[in-house]
Amino acid sequence: MIDLYTWSTPNGRKVSIMLEECGLPYKAYAVDILNDEQFQPHFLKISPNNKIPAIVDSDTGLSLMESGAILMYLARKTGMFMPQDQAAWWRAVEWVMWQMGGFGPMLGQAHHFLHFNPGKAAYAEERFGKETSRLYGVLDHQLSQHEYVAGEYSVADMAIWPWASRFEWQGVDMNAFAHVKRWYETVAARPAVQRGYKVPKDMGPIPMP
């Protein structure tokens, strides 16, 4: 059994989608980051960085924070959603790292300045708006050559897709990125993605371009 500590954010949804895709039994516990529940002492023991998501695997007693690490742990535990070929395996890792190092952090800044605080920092809005567009362009180019981000459907898609699902917050017109739009809609149609998107609570339907 996996205990998942999460909230309705892109990083949280990565893990609930993966758990649904794998079919692993799990219990989800809401950590309300809007009310600073991530700073409570009992959560600190599980997630030393006070960030969601985090898991505890009762089969092994292992607790893990950081969504990328959790995705790769679950892939190894189940033998699912990572390629078997060594070169393809590293390609999937490469795109997970791309999300962790760029697509997530930069889009997070776009959320902060463009969605939650518009009109307060013109320089930041321009900087992160341009970087968001550049990153979508990188993703669009990759998807022009592959059905899924790393070739076959994998943890790379599960890492990236929840961030793309907030395209409206980022001021992104999906019609400008035809290959991303095709991929986004394909992934959104997966039943496990639809279930995982609603964990820990239903925040409404998946946004569609």
For the entire predicted model, the pTM comes to: 0.95
Q: Are 173 and 140 in contact (CB under 8 A)?
A: no
Residues 6+ apart with CB under 8 A from 208: 185, 188
Report the C-alpha gap between 106 and 168 in whole angstroms: 15
pLDDT, residue 184, reads: 98
What angle, 0 to 180 degrees and rounded to 10, lies between the N-to-C axes of helices 67-78 and 10-22? Answer: 0
Q: What is the pLDDT along the chain (209 residues), one digit of tens a residue?
A: 999 999 999 999 999 999 999 999 999 999 999 898 999 998 999 999 999 999 999 999 999 999 999 999 999 999 999 999 999 999 999 999 999 999 999 999 999 999 999 999 999 999 999 999 999 999 999 999 999 999 999 999 999 999 999 999 999 999 999 999 999 999 999 999 999 999 998 777 888 88
**Following DSSP, what letter does each residue of the chain receive, concatenated?**
-EEEEE-SSHHHHHHHHHHHHHT--EEEEE--GGGTGGGSHHHHTT-TT--S-EEEETTTTEEEESHHHHHHHHHHHHT-SS-SSHHHHHHHHHHHHHIIIIIHHHHHHHIIIIIISTTS-HHHHHHHHHHHHHHHHHHHHHHTT-SBTTBSS-HHHHHHHHHHTTTTTTT--GGG-HHHHHHHHHHHT-HHHHHHHT-SS---SPP--
Whether the bond between 41 and the residue before it is cis, its omega within 30 degrees of 0, is no
Q: Are 36 and 120 in contact (CB under 8 A)?
A: no
Q: Which of 61, 65, 56, 66 is nearest to 26 (CA)?
A: 56
Q: Which of 57, 66, 81 is nearest to 11 (CA)?
A: 66
What CATH number corresponds to the domain at position 61? Answer: 3.40.30.10
**97 and 181, same domain (yes or no):** yes
pLDDT, residue 206, reads: 86
**69 and 158, same domain (yes or no):** no
pLDDT, residue 196, reads: 97
| Residue 202 belongs to a domain | no
**73 and 103, same domain (yes or no):** no
pLDDT, residue 144, reads: 98
Handedness of CA 170, 71, 190, 197 (dihedral sign): negative
pLDDT, residue 203, reads: 72
What CATH number corresponds to the domain at position 112? Answer: 1.20.1050.10
| Residue 206 belongs to a domain | no
| Residue 200 belongs to a domain | no
| Residue 134 belongs to a domain | yes
Total structural domains in the chain?
Answer: 2
Q: What is the extent of the structural domain holding 97? A: 86-190
pLDDT, residue 190, reads: 98
